[in-house]
Structure 1
Amino acid sequence: MNHVPEAEWVAYLADKIPEALKIEYENHLYSCDKCLSAYMEAMEKEEFGPDIEGFDIAGPVMDSISRLKEGPVEGEKQLRKEKSLRTITRHYLIAAGFTILLMAGGVFQSLTEYVDSVESISEKETQSLTDGLIDKTFNWMDTIEKKNKEGFRNE
C-alpha cells in the first residue's frame, strides 16, 4: 500500500471514509512510521487547529472592555439604585420581623436572666485570694469571739 496523505487521515478522524478503508488504514499504521507520524499530525490539527484558528476572541473582549469603561447607562444606574433600595428594605423588614418574633417568644428576657446569673457567678469567682483570706480570718475570729462569750455566760 502507498503512503496515506494527511488529508485522508483527517477524513479518517472525522469518520468520513468507508469502514473497509478504515480497516485498511489501521493495518497500514502498524507497518509504516511515516503514515503514523502523518496520522499523529492530523490528530493534533483536529484537536487544536480548526476551532481555534477560526475563532476571533479579540473583538468581543475589546467590546466588553469599552462598555466597562463607558460605565452604565443612566437608566441602568436608576434601575440598580432601585434594586439596591428594595434589597435593603427587604433585609430591614426581615430583621425587624425576626426581632419581634424573638421578643414575643421571650428569648431576650431569658437571655438577660442568663447574663445576670453568669455575671453574679463571675463576681463570686473574681474575688481575690487576699480578700478570701481576710473573709475567712474574720469568720474564724467571729466564731472564737462567740465561743468566748458563751463560755463567760455559762460560768
Structure 2
Amino acid sequence: MEHLSEAQIRDYVSGTLSDEESDGLEDHFSECEDCFDQYLFLLEEDSSLPSTFTDEAVNRIVKEHPTFQQQKKSRSFAHYLVAAGLTLVLMMSGVFNLMTDSMDPDSFEQQPSLTEQILDQTGSLMDKMTNR
C-alpha cells in the first residue's frame, strides 16, 4: 500500500480537495494507520491557537459587556461580606464555644495507627495458626 504525501494530507486538512479526492483520502485513512496518524498530527498542528487568543477573547467580552467585570468584583465582595457576617453571628451567639466545650479531651488520646492494628491482628492470626 502506498502512503499519502504530506501535501495531500495538508490539502485534505485545509479542505481544498474535491469531494471525490476527499472520499478517496478518507477511504485510505480507514485502511492505513500511518497516514491516519499523520492526518491527526497535521490536524492538531493546524488547529493550534495563537498565544494571544485568551487575552483577545477576554478583552472582547469585556468590551461587548462592560458590566461583566463590575458584576464579578461586586459578587466577590458580597460573598466576603456574607461570610464575615455569618462568622460574627456564630461567634456572638456562642456556637463556637458550645462546639469546643462539648468535645471530650480524652477522646483525643493517641489511638494506635491503622498499620499497628493490622500488624497486631496479623500477628495474633499467625500465632493461632502456628498453635494448631
Q: For the superposition of Structure 1 and Structure 2, which TM-score range results when normalised by the shorter chain?
A: 0.3 to 0.5
TM-score (norm 1): 0.33
TM-score (norm 2): 0.38
Larger Rg: 1
Name the structure where helix makes up a greater proportion of residues: 1
